[in-house]
Amino acid sequence: MPIKILIADDHPLIAEGIKNVFENKEDFQVVAVVNNGKKAINFIAQHLVDIVLLDINMPIMDGIECAKKITSEFKEVKIAMLSMYQESSLIKNLIKIGVKGYMLKTIPSEELLKAVKNIYNGKEYFNTEVTKALHSENSSNLEQYYKRSPLLKELTTREKEIIKSISQGNTNVQIGKKLFISPRTVDTHRTNIMRKLEIHNMAALIRFAFQNGLT
């Protein structure tokens, strides 16, 4: 039985390139290519999938929210991220959520095949650049860390608490219990935070948290 792979990436050329890696390989089968997290969830709910390869920035539902939903609702499905982001806080957040692999999109084809097979067999896989990011903070990251955004002053203390909790991988329900507020209130705060910061997805929010000392 080949390993059944779902690819979720909103860049058609990149998605096609990833799919081509697995073409004509008897151990692998790409069962679908979708362009957002919601379509990925809908497909998994109706079809057998072994591994999902997720991009982070996608419309409607990004890769972080999609990963959270898969790990909570489809525990038998393994998740690997294929991204260009190397920020350790983002990677650590995704590991905490439960992803089993994180690779840069520059990964060689043969290494990607090896990574997917390892993850399918119950192992984890992080390619060299990702491992380096996890074990060291380079100077550019440190510079970003200390360049605090002027938008920080727009946030209330409660909103900063919520950003910190989100960056730690907590769900609305978990944040609500911690702060003694309802999940709906957490969601309202999240919407207000994104409006104030002029950002539109979870990856950008976690980067903001890291760069502004809110992790």
110 is written with which tokens? 């043969």
Please, what are the domains in the chain? 3-135 (3.40.50.2300), 148-211 (1.10.10.10)
pLDDT score recorded for residue 96: 85
81 and 94 in contact (C-beta within 8 Å)? yes
Q: Over 70: is that where the pLDDT of 33 sits?
A: yes
From the CA atom positions of the chain, what is the Rg in Å?
A: 18
Q: Compute φ and ψ for 161, nearest 5 degrees.
A: -60, -40
DSSP 76-126: TSEEEEEES---HHHHHHHHHHT-SEEEETT--HHHHHHHHHHHHTT--EE
Q: E strand or H helix at 64, and its extent?
A: helix 63-73
Read off the pLDDT of each residue in 92-100 and give the average, rounded to a whole number.
87
pLDDT score recorded for residue 214: 79
List the alpha helices (DSSP H) in 121-211.
128-135, 139-146, 157-167, 172-179, 183-197, 202-211
80 pLDDT band, cuts 50/70/90, is: very high
For residues 171 and 198, what is the distance between their CA atoms, to the nearest angstrom? Answer: 21
What is the percent of the chain with per-residue pLDDT over 90, rounded to a whole number? 54
pLDDT score recorded for residue 132: 64
Q: Give the residue with greater pLDDT, 144 vs 47.
A: 47
For residues 125 and 81, what is the distance between their CA atoms, to the nearest angstrom? Answer: 10
Read off the pLDDT of each residue in 172-189 and give the average, rounded to a whole number.
92
pLDDT score recorded for residue 135: 58
Q: Over 90: is that where the pLDDT of 3 sits?
A: yes
For residues 139 and 137, what is the distance between their CA atoms, to the nearest angstrom? Answer: 7
Read off the pLDDT of each residue in 139-153 and give the average, rounded to a whole number.
59
Helix (H, G, I), strand (E, B) or coil at 197: helix
